[in-house]
Amino acid sequence: MSRQEADGRGGSGLSGGVAKADLSYSETDGKGRGVLCRRRIVRILITGAGQGLGCHIAAAALARGNKVLAAVHSLPRVSEEMQGLQGRYREKIEVFEMDVSDEESVRKARKMLQGQGKALDGIVNNAAIMVEREKTIEDLDLSAMRSSFEVNTIGPMRVVQQFLPMLYRGNKQVIVNISSEAGTIINAFATNYPYSMSKTALNMFSERLREHLREKDIRVYAVHPGWMRTNMGGVDAPADPRDIAAGIVDILERKKKIYSKIAFIDSTGRPMPL
């Protein structure tokens, strides 16, 4: 029996109501031998998945047999890596445009996916911008505050608002809002107002959402991924986004024991300072 048959879902396999949590299939062990495992296939929506960390989270999730709804900012701009994932995992990935700062765009994507009867087990709010980073208050263009909050804070709120009904139909659900230590108040420095303040607000949203969804056993985290080598992080960053992506997929698969009293954690599950 194939995984899709076992799953009771055909085609892209992302559709269906409540998924069967555990499936049997063979994987290879560390020595390349086939072993029979029981594992859960997790259906994950990732924003800003066209490149950078979002694309690496998609790659890590797919490599473990999970299914990905990859929301990209612009289809013509997706990275070669994302194009490769589309070719390699045709049955397990769906790639579509969604601008998280645009209410109509998010609504349209949700309607399209909900119309296909899709359910979700995880949402990764990854899309973000960092603008006017070096500006002090004297020189700061305040319109950058609005655009940053639109993408980095209201974007995740908009996505959660639209996609919660699909998440309610899933299993062992997890919401990961990708945050940043830039949002940590005790480490604040004299610039980077739009990005840092939008991430502090994202942390508060995550905390409140976590309270809201606690009784439904839907987990909510704001995850600081670390300084990574992406377009945003630059080439000098110490962390490989592939390593960070693996930690985030562990969180989505509920593989990590997380003891944090707050939603704001790093990608290994340790609490971050507020």
Ligand X SMILES: NC(=O)c1ccc[n+]([C@@H]2O[C@H](COP(=O)([O-])OP(=O)(O)OC[C@H]3O[C@@H](n4cnc5c(N)ncnc54)[C@H](OP(=O)(O)O)[C@@H]3O)[C@@H](O)[C@H]2O)c1
User: Which residues are near ligand X by CB under 6 A?
Assistant: 47-48, 50-54, 73-74, 77, 99-101, 126-129, 151, 178, 180, 225, 227-228, 230-233, 237
Minimal distance in Å, beta carbon 249 to ligand X? 15
Name the residue with the smallest CB distance to ligand X. 52
Q: What is the dihedral of CA 75, 77, 83, 85, to 10 degrees?
A: -80
Residues in Cβ contact with 92 at an 8 Å cutoff, skipping those fewer than 6 apart: 12, 13, 14, 62, 65, 66, 67, 68
SS3 94: strand
Q: Which is nearer to ligand X, 159 or 166 (CB)?
A: 159
Residues in Cβ contact with 94 at an 8 Å cutoff, skipping those fewer than 6 apart: 12, 14, 68, 69, 70, 113
Q: Which is nearer to ligand X, 77 or 88 (CB)?
A: 77
Residues in Cβ contact with 17 at an 8 Å cutoff, skipping those fewer than 6 apart: 117, 119, 169
Residue type (1 letter), 184: T
Minimal distance in Å, beta carbon 24 to ligand X? 34
Q: What tokens does 146 get?
A: 């609005």
Minimal distance in Å, beta carbon 175 to ligand X? 14
Q: Which is nearer to ligand X, 41 or 178 (CB)?
A: 178
Please work out, in degrees rounded to the nearest 5, the angle formed at the alpha carbon of residue 257 by the alpha carbons of 252 and 263. Answer: 65
| Phi–psi pair at 98, nearest 5 degrees | -155, 115
Q: Which is nearer to ligand X, 150 or 169 (CB)?
A: 150
Minimal distance in Å, beta carbon 155 to ligand X? 6
Q: Which is nearer to ligand X, 16 or 48 (CB)?
A: 48
Minimal distance in Å, beta carbon 229 to ligand X? 8
Q: Which is nearer to ligand X, 13 or 50 (CB)?
A: 50
Q: Strand 122-125's sheet: what is its strand order?
A: 93-97, 67-72, 43-47, 122-125, 174-178, 219-224, 264-266
Minimal distance in Å, beta carbon 12 to ligand X? 21
